[in-house]
Amino acid sequence: MGRPLRIEYPGALYHITSRGNERKKIYLDEEDKIKFLEILQDYHARYAILIHSYVLMDNHYHLILETPKGNLLKAMHGINGGYTAYFNRKYKRSGHLFQGRYKGIVVDKDNYLVELSRYVHLNPVRAEIAARPEQYRWSSYPGYIGKERELKWVEYSWILSQFGSSIKRAREKYKGYVEEGLKKRIETPLKNVYGQIILGEEGFIEKIKLTLKGKDLSREITERKRLMVKLNPEEIIKKVAEIFGAEEVAIKEKGRKDNIARKVALYFIHRYSGLSNTEIGKIFGGIHFSTISKASFRLKEEMAEDKGLARLVMELDSSFKA
């Protein structure tokens, strides 16, 4: 099997994991973990990467990082290579420290960054080395909730901004969100990874698949469905308007209740346009990106209760795939 594909583009967000060779420890004392964090800080500055979350376990680490310049390969080569060189010098050893290449999953920021950060921050609790996530020092979580001072090179702002404009209130709400995972079992978001390298909603997956067209893909990708044709949002709105006898302008207008044509158009654009939730929100009067996925889910619930609506949506779906 070939090497796993690396997807690079400006603004890409990734969940990165790297394990010790033969699952051996990669950090033998606190000094090692401090050194690794210093390397992260260095490469944050050197390659302008944004580090949203991290956790250092004894034999592996998790990072959620963003690459505004589309330079994941260079950044990760420097991080793992730099730390391996330090570790080998300190412990008078040679050879590989990490088990093969790191695992990098490209992530749909709008829909999965917040959930993924909770998964990363709860690692020490799942591993039963801490009763609560804030008790674990080698994680970005204490900085998120104000238990420890914020590190200048950690990008706290995007995730916290999803919980409110007041930093104090946002920290409290984010802490409550993470602690939901202490009260009940929450499934890992990584169960939804597509083709071993993409975590996102359907529109995001299609968008990424289009960027892969023509590339030498590993077997995991080529065995998936062929790339679908990206549909124009205006064509979708026009078709929905015809079926439901609605005005195209009314479909785009924000604030009208029980606008079923609007819900259906939003659902299909989310599914087939390849646009981000932020881009879709602009089409529909500037609604918040988080509303898009929720609206699609609610339409599916309505379809389950209304067979006539379900039939219309299925007919539209067939026409879009034709």
Q: Where are the domains of the chain?
A: 12-219, 233-321
* Per-residue model confidence (pLDDT) at position 154: 96
Looking at the predicted structure, is the pLDDT value of residue 319 above 90? no
- d(CA 313, CA 267) in angstroms, rounded, equals 10
pLDDT of residue 229: 46
Dump pLDDT digits (tens) for 3-34: 556 789 999 999 999 999 988 999 999 999 99
- What local confidence, expressed as pLDDT, does residue 202 receive? 85
Is the pLDDT confidence value at 1 over 60? Answer: no
* CATH topology for the 233-321 domain: Chromosomal Replication Initiator Protein Dnaa; Chain: A; (1.10.1750)
Q: Phi and psi dihedrals of 268, rounded to 5?
A: -75, -35
Kindly give, in sequence order, each residue whose CB lies less than 8 Å from that of residue 280, ignoring residues fewer than 6 positions away: 203, 233, 266, 269, 270, 273, 289, 292
Position 214 confidence tier, pLDDT thresholds 50, 70, 90 = low
Q: Which CATH superfamily is 12-219 part of?
A: Transposase IS200-like (3.30.70.1290)
Using the predicted structure, report yes or no on whether residue 145 has a pLDDT greater than 70. yes
Q: Are domains 12-219 and 233-321 of this chain identical in fold?
A: no
Q: pLDDT per residue over 52-69, tens digit each?
A: 999 999 999 999 999 999
Whether the pLDDT of residue 193 is over 50: the answer is yes
Give just the sign of the alpha carbon dihedral 46, 49, 55, 56: negative
Q: pTM above the 0.75 mark?
A: no
pLDDT (tens digit per residue) in 278-310: 889 899 888 887 788 788 778 888 888 888 888
Cα 13 to Cα 4: distance, rounded to the nearest angstrom: 17
Give the model confidence (pLDDT) of 247-286 as tens digits.
Answer: 999 888 877 667 889 989 998 888 778 788 888 989 988 8
The confidence band for 116, taking pLDDT boundaries of 50, 70 and 90, is very high
Average pLDDT over residues 153-180: 94
Higher pLDDT, 124 or 100: 124
Count the neighbouring beta carbons within 10 Å of the beta carbon of residue 191. Answer: 7
Q: What is the mean pLDDT of the chain?
A: 87
Look at residue 230 in the predicted model and tell me its pLDDT: 65
Across residues 91-104, what is the average pLDDT? 91
| pLDDT for 321 | 58
> Which residue(s) pair with 62 in the sheet?
17, 55
Percent of the chain at pLDDT above 90? 56
Q: How far is it, in rounded angstroms, from Cα 12 to Cα 48? A: 13
Enter the tokens of residue 9.
């583009």
Q: Which of 42, 107, 24 is nearest to 79 (CA)?
A: 42
